[in-house]
Chain A
Amino acid sequence: AQSVTQLDSHVSVSEGTPVLLRCNYSSSYSPSLFWYVQHPNKGLQLLLKYTSAATLVKGINGFEAEFKKSETSFHLTKPSAHMSDAAEYFCVVSYLSGGYQKVTFGIGTKLQVIP
């Protein structure tokens, strides 16, 4: 079975300080992993994705994530938070099941950025 655990439902950081949003996954196969961001009442925007290439993945808006197979983790980081980063972040694992692509979403982490 595939699952995603986002360890923090809410993270609060000061503007200009580093961001760390944690994600652990469980997958029977080599997974594809994604981070999406959702601003209030908006759809989801892809930040970055891991698809078995480089383990350190760089995304948009200065975000990056590192795939660590030994730790089954895919944590999202950013060196310096900006006010516009305040949003909900979802870690997602994608896999094939019965010939169809399936995705499992984490419960989400709400990022608050304090001025």
Chain B
Amino acid sequence: GAVVSQHPSRVICKSGTSVKIECRSLDFQATTMFWYRQFPKQSLMLMATSNEGSKATYEQGVEKDKFLINHASLTLSTLTVTSAHPEDSSFYICSARVTGGYNEQFFGPGTRLTVL
């Protein structure tokens, strides 16, 4: 099956620093990738939809200047949490949809961000 990787799997950073999370589709091309956020004991919340070669579409309430998304190639999307604060600590999961494929999304293993 299609494999999606995320790097890093865990990151701890100081408040005020920026953190970049990579999402890669390893064996398929993904025109569209999605970024989700999951707080403890809660469901996944879609943050933004990342389309290769164009600007990301952010969900209501998600600050685009704080969560920078770049989808520069058909296999890589990055999420940068700028000036991270403790309330940004969360589990970030990306997913990718096969180019030309149906609605199925393949999920990455997630990145645990802890901001001290």
A contact residues vs B (CB 8 Å cutoff): 32, 34, 36, 41-46, 49, 51, 90, 94, 100-108
**Residues of chain B at interface, number, CB under 8 A:** 26
CB of B97 within 8 A of CB of A42, answer no
Q: Is the interface of A mostly helix, strand, loop or mixed?
A: strand
Of B45, B51, B102, which contacts A51 at CB under 8 A?
B102
Answer yes or no: B25 CB below 8 A from chain A CBs. Answer: no
CB of B110 within 8 A of CB of A43, answer yes
For the A-B complex, the count of residue pairs with Cβ-Cβ distances under 8 Å equals: 54
Q: Is the interface of B mostly helix, strand, loop or mixed?
A: strand
> Which chain A residues border B108 with CB–CB below 8 Å?
43
CB of A32 within 8 A of CB of B44, answer no
Q: How far is the CA of A90 from the CA of B103 in the complex (A)?
A: 16
CB of A101 within 8 A of CB of B32, answer yes
Answer yes or no: B67 CB below 8 A from chain A CBs. Answer: no
- The verdict on A105 contacting B43 (CB below 8 Å), with A42-B109, A43-B93 known, is yes
